[in-house]
Structure 1
Amino acid sequence: MNRREFLEATLALMVSQTAFAETGASSAQPIARRKLGRTGEQISCIGVGGFHIGTQKDENESIQLIRRALDNGLNFLDNCWDYNEGQSEIRMGKALRDGYRSKAFLMTKIDGRDRKTAEAQIDESLERLQTDHLDLLQLHEVIYEKDPELAFAKGNVMEAMIAARKAGKARFLGFTGHKSPAMHLKMLETAKKNGFRFDAVQMPLNVMDAHFDSFEKRVLPVLVREEIGVLGMKPMGGKIILDSKTVTAPECLRYSLSLPVSVVITGIDTMERLDQALQVARGFKPLSEKEVAALLAKTEKAAKDGSFEKYKTSQRFDGTTKNPEWLGPLAAQVNPQPQKN
């Protein structure tokens, strides 16, 4: 796909999206919802990142952020078994009490590569989140060369995830990764060889990625063609992209939302950042081709060596590299030589 074809795909997605206004929400403008691949689900165009929601000193602040997001129409909630030693899931579970679970499309991720470790993490996540099912369960950090073949090998993680879906513990299945477009393509190809089709895939999509070892250029066209839900993440690269002084936070969000994605997951750790996300999401319209070109021109020089995409070029964002025990007994096979930054 070239840039024009991408914009056309985004416009098609926008035509199919629905506008959603939660009763009692503070704004007259609705939050757009988009299709999640072939699942039939409609999710908010912006999602609440799970890591940042567990970093507040007072858990009540986390709970208030989640509930305010849901009350204002942001229904997609991201999380992970390993975020903040489980606090992100625990706090989200508390926030989803009192009827809030029905407002949410709830996703979490697991790290275990063998079936037994994966099953234990799934059950622990369900307990923390105080729910009997996940709307989307994902294999986290597919960033190692052996991940695809090991994931689908007998007795390993995909067996646990498929069993969880069969048992009603998860409605849909996906995987995530931030390191390499080639790894994503290998995971998709391995799934196909095993007769499996993912419902969703999560990856970095931002103004810097477009220039360097790009998920947008290599993986996104495949997902669009196969109608697999696209979960964009790191629109600001963990805030590092903002350090380049080339783009603002709203510009970052608007760029990512202008791609043919189902949702853009962003870190929201304060009411100010929540309001910023809501402002961008309300009545969102894709950037014009001219506006996209202008943003790419501003970021091209800064992006060329990946220095503002540390998740690709360092181990800074590799939680399972720093904590191989999260992978379970297969850690030595998945990542035989863990490195520290």
Structure 2
Amino acid sequence: MRYTMFGQTGSRVSSLGFGAMNLPGVPFEQAKAALNYALDEGINYIDTAAGYRNSEEIIGDSISHRRSEYFLATKTNKRDYKSAMEEMERSLTRMKTDVIDLLQVHYVNTVQEFKAAMEEDGAYQAALEMKRKGHVRFIGITGHRPELLAKWISKGQFDQVLFHLNLAQPFALQELIPEATRQNMGKTAMKPLSGGFIQPVSKAIRYPYSQDVHTIISGMVSIDEVKENIAAMREEVGDEERHELEQLALELGSHNCRRCNYCSCPIGVTIPDIMISSQVRQTFGLLPKGDGFYERQKDKILSCADYEPCREKPLCEEKCPYHLPMQQVVQQAAGYFNAG
């Protein structure tokens, strides 16, 4: 396991972090075993959020007795002081700890949300207050708009930033990672499999592993998944492999969707998932989780071409800050079912 100094925090973190978002979806004993096995194998970065159902409670009940062994990161998606303070206090109780190593202002995707969080009565001030009280050590920010995150971190108010980085979403490399490096911030990459779409797992993990980040959080739910992720990182990435991965990322990232979720579909198509998986689906096919997503979305995808209000001007495309051809990609996805 590779360990690096996490920005200016003074903490050394493992290159693989444990993303606990999906733990509420499996039996408690399985989740507990996965967390403890991860710690046994040297993973020392645990990531969760107050909004991940009972993920924080699972962490508290499973590994709080080993609190000195891991760097604990959680999140609040509240924007005002009062709600954020209440949520952080609940997080401490749920995770059975007195200190959160990293509190992240979570899922900030618009200028309005950022301004609200940074106001005098905003969530950032609540995090600073918890830091003054000794209950939070460092403050970070997360979001899906890398170019906006690059601007927001430039003022030196945050210790860490969390962002997408995978073969189908390489966009953080352009502005965000260089700015975080200049600020000497902790750099945490998330969704190496892009929510279960990218395969093979080994290749997917090795792409962010080859880039300038400190830790990659993978949403693991079993001992076998922990083993699979660790195995992908056993060897360092050489120059030739890095070049091949970067070329592949250029191809798979050509959809240009950042998953900012500005778009919305009146018939319920989950547009970002279809955009991001479009090139992966054509190049590698999908993991079982990806196949399951397409089956659940089948009726909505097939209905896109017949939805009358979008015939002349797609409603989703009006909201996209990147002006992407979303209707075209969704309708092309209908061919996935014909091929099957």
TM-score normalised by L of structure 1: 0.74
| Structure 2 SS opposite 1:118 | helix
Any conservation in 2 of the 1:209–1:216 contact (CA below 8 Å)?
no
**Counterpart check, 1:45 vs 2:5:** no
Partner of 2:93: 127
Any conservation in 2 of the 1:306–1:312 contact (CA below 8 Å)?
no
Partner of 1:92: 59
* Structure 2 letter corresponding to 1:156: G
* Structure 2 letter corresponding to 1:204: H
Based on CA coordinates, which of the two structures has the bigger radius of gyration?
A: 2
State how many pairs are aligned: 268
Out of 209, 212, 231, the position equivalent to 1:260 is 212
Determine the C-alpha separation between the residues in 2 that align with 1:112 and 1:223: 24
Query: What is the percentage of aligned positions where both structures have the same residue?
Result: 26
Any conservation in 2 of the 1:306–1:313 contact (CA below 8 Å)?
no
Q: CA deviation at 1:201?
A: 0.5
Q: CA deviation at 1:197?
A: 2.6
Q: 1:93 to 1:105 in 2, by over 3 A?
A: same
Structure 2 unmatched ranges of 5 or more: 265-269, 273-318, 320-340
Any conservation in 2 of the 1:138–1:175 contact (CA below 8 Å)?
yes
Determine the C-alpha separation between the residues in 2 that align with 1:103 and 1:228: 22
| Structure 2 SS opposite 1:92 | helix
Determine the C-alpha separation between the residues in 1 that align with 2:23 and 2:271: 17
Any conservation in 1 of the 2:109–2:260 contact (CA below 8 Å)?
no
Determine the C-alpha separation between the residues in 1 that align with 2:46 and 2:71: 6
Partner of 1:298: 248
| Structure 1 SS opposite 2:187 | strand
Determine the C-alpha separation between the residues in 1 that align with 2:137 and 2:249: 39
Q: CA deviation at 1:152?
A: 1.6
Out of 196, 202, 219, the position equivalent to 2:176 is 219
Structure 1 unmatched ranges of 5 or more: 1-30, 243-247, 319-336
Q: 1:304 to 1:312 in 2, by over 3 A?
A: farther
Partner of 1:116: 82
Partner of 2:5: 35
**Counterpart check, 1:188 vs 2:153:** yes
Bigger RCO of structures 1 and 2 (CA < 8 A, at least 6 apart): 1
Partner of 1:171: 137
Question: Root-mean-square deviation (CA), in Å?
Answer: 2.1
Q: 1:299 to 1:154 in 2, by over 3 A?
A: closer
| Structure 2 SS opposite 1:241 | coil
* Structure 2 letter corresponding to 1:301: E
